[in-house]
Amino acid sequence: MKRLPIALQLYSVREDCARDLAGTLKAVAEMGYAGVEFAGWHNHPAADLKKMLADNGLRPAGAHIQLAQFEPANWEANADFNQALGNRYLIVPGIPAERRKTLDDWRRLADFFNQMAEKAAARDLRIGYHNHWMEFELLEGRRPWDVFFDATRREVIMQFDTGNALRGGGLAADYLQRYAGRAETVHLKEYSSAQPKALIGEGEVPWPAVFELCETIGGTQWYIVEEEYRPYPPMESVRRSLEALRAMGKI
């Protein structure tokens, strides 16, 4: 199986980024992360962000970008910024509640993502969607995640979050097989029914199966660590998760 690079979703250390983005990127690189996924630009232009990454030997593994930025009035500026940064992966991190009330809403969203995937491809960019847990909870008798990804073209990235999915009843193995080749970036997050703030390796995610599927049929290009429910200070939590992956032989 191939060895995949590991990035950090910067939402995990958002307070540190707001105080000192350059210093935070330096510390993340020194831990051993190969890249980062952005969660906001912290008022920096793309050229400055690109230089910060280069100065620390980091690569862009994606960015979480709100759905509104893909609307026609905002799309070109959004695409220009990411191309200037050198980032190909534009991932929507969630859908406003008023746009996901019914399964027909999810079908309309799938149509929108299909259109945007075509526009993104023309700019050598990729668009995708990141799950929380509610996409796996039944709505009108079906799981919204199934409805959405059954209706989207293969070019729409399935950014599977292992911990969020398991919390909602979605099993990573099922979805990595069902949508083989579409999990180009995967969020590595733990879930424990007994310990809400478990770090990677301390809960119920079946890591060996996840890694095997990502590294064979998943089409995965990046593993991305995200720590939302941090038991330690943010930088310590993401360091410990990376060390757990090192102990699993992923580095």
Q: Structural domain boundaries of the chain?
A: 6-247
Q: Report CA-CA distances (Å) from 98 to 39, 91, 135.
A: 22, 20, 14
Handedness of CA 122, 148, 179, 6 (dihedral sign): positive
Q: What is the pLDDT of residues 85-111, one digit of tens each?
A: 999 999 999 999 999 999 999 999 999
Residue 1 pLDDT = 67
231 has pLDDT over 90: no
pTM: 0.96
Q: Could you give the CA distance from residue 162 to residue 145 in angstroms, rounded to a whole number?
A: 14
- Helical pair 72-85 and 103-122, crossing angle rounded to 10 deg: 50
First to last CA, the chain: 13
Residue 203: band (very low, low, confident or very high) from pLDDT cuts 50, 70, 90: very high
* 201 and 248 Cβ atoms separated by less than 8 Å: yes
Three-class SS string for 44-105?
CCHHHHHHHHHHCCCEEEEEECCHHHHCHHHHHHHHHHHHHHCCCEEEECCCCHHHCCCHHH
Report the share of the chain in percent with pLDDT over 70.
100
Q: CATH: 3.40.50.2000, 3.20.20.150, 3.40.50.970, 2.60.40.10. Which one for 6-247?
A: 3.20.20.150
Q: What is the pLDDT of residues 23-82, one digit of tens each?
A: 999 999 999 999 999 999 999 999 999 999 999 999 999 999 999 999 999 999 999 999
Residue 229 pLDDT = 85
Residue 228: band (very low, low, confident or very high) from pLDDT cuts 50, 70, 90: confident
Q: Within a 10 A sphere around the Cβ of 244, how many other Cβ atoms?
A: 18
Q: What is the pLDDT of residues 135-170, one digit of tens each?
A: 999 999 999 999 999 999 999 999 999 999 999 999
Buried residues in 211-233 as b, exposed as e (16+ CB within 10 A): bebbeeebbbbbbbbbbeebeee
Tracing tokens 């199934």 back to the chain, one arrives at 146
